[in-house]
Amino acid sequence: MMMKALTLHGKKDLRMEDVPLPEVTAPDDVVIQVAAAGICGSDLSRYAKLGPYVKGMTFGHEFAGTVLAVGTGVTHVKPGDRVAGCPAFPCGTCRECEKGNPARCQALTVLGAFRPGAFAEQTKLPAANVVPVPEGVTMDAAALMEPSAVALHALYRSALEPGAATAVLGCGNIGLLSIQWAKQFGADNVYAIDIDPSKLERAARLGADVCLNPKEQNVEEALLAYNGEGVDAAVESAGSPVTSVQVLALPKKGGDVIYMGIPYNDITFERYYFERIVRNELRVLGGWNAVSAPFPGREWSATAAALADGTLEMEPVISHRLPLEEGPAVFENIINQEEPFSKVILHPDG
């Protein structure tokens, strides 16, 4: 039996092909009918520049769907249940895994790279990677549980607390989710920074108190006019070599810098920005992946709870909903920036 899937064959070579349907072959297997799958920034990077992957592998890792079949050892979900997929596969045996840090696993792999992914009619995961979706949460929203967990994983590493001031540089998907989570952490003032007015509009809708456009003003000066000391935490979620440097000028003395974006070019620091680290005694943190112990982690349970009670909004994050067969074209359109994109959701059922 075959199904439709998007498979990656090389740089910018994404194809709609027929591939075998997944089957239950192990006691902990869960086969899932994919309802919605999101395009991640890392998918775009792998599409354009490659990285760890297997030629012809079914692509995609952010998704939600309905359980079709389970192995004999699966007890927490059953056929018919609505679920989301945690796409990370830590080895479980390296030093960091044994210390309870699966996000730092030395051999971590991700769905859609070495295992068939979610840009398909069906996919398969181990039971440990399958997260039940609360009633009332749409499949499109549930497909974004993974990027929410990515943002939350990084913010858990920070010292954010009620009353904090926070700046978020880059209001793409992770930035918009970070803004919402910062408010949930109790941040009094959240400053959204982006050069795209449409993204700033989304940021304001999702709780940003002040929106700043670097094309229109000096962001550092503008922020200090609002908050003379600087912010308690500055989040870099754009993955730009420029913002990766500029973020260092925004925290107050002793503040946090939280890097979530991944620039794919070298970064050069002017002395002024580097000295902010030393003279202001900044704490510089990186956030990687979406998992913690016990696996898959509190990032996922907190996201599920926030979706269930409505405190986490996904609808404003989503800009496009498209059938799966439009995947190759939309990847190229996003890369070429042919129109403004936020989160793109692909639907295998059209």
The tens-digit pLDDT sequence of the chain (350 residues) is 999 999 999 999 999 999 999 999 999 999 999 999 999 999 999 999 887 789 999 999 999 999 999 999 999 999 999 999 999 999 999 999 999 999 999 999 999 999 999 999 999 999 999 999 999 999 999 999 999 999 999 999 999 999 999 999 999 999 999 999 999 999 999 999 999 999 999 999 999 999 999 999 999 999 999 989 999 999 999 999 999 999 999 999 999 999 999 888 899 999 999 999 999 999 999 999 999 999 999 999 999 999 999 999 999 999 999 999 999 999 999 999 888 899 999 999 97
**So what's the pLDDT on residue 151?**
98
Does the domain made of 2-145+296-347 have the CATH classification 3.40.50.720?
A: no
**So what's the pLDDT on residue 265?**
86
d(CA 134, CA 92): 28
8 A C-beta contact, residue 164 and residue 233: yes
In sequence order, the 6+-apart residues with CB closer than 8 A to the CB of 341 are 319, 320, 333, 334
Whole-Å CA distances, 133 to 124, 279, 332: 17, 46, 31
**So what's the pLDDT on residue 139?**
98
**So what's the pLDDT on residue 52?**
76
Residues of the chain with CATH 3.40.50.720: 158-286
By DSSP bridging, strand 343-347 and strand 318-323 are parallel
d(CA 304, CA 284): 29
Tokens of 290: 């979406």
CA 7-10-11 angle, to 5 degrees, is 115
Please give the CATH number for the structural domain made up of 158-286.
Answer: 3.40.50.720
Give Rg (Cα) of the chain.
Answer: 20
Residues of the chain with CATH 3.90.180.10: 2-145+296-347
**So what's the pLDDT on residue 338?**
83
Tokens of 219: 């962001």
Burial 188-203 (b: 16+ CB within 10 A, else e): ebbbbbbbbeebbbbb
Whether pTM > 0.75 for this model: the answer is yes
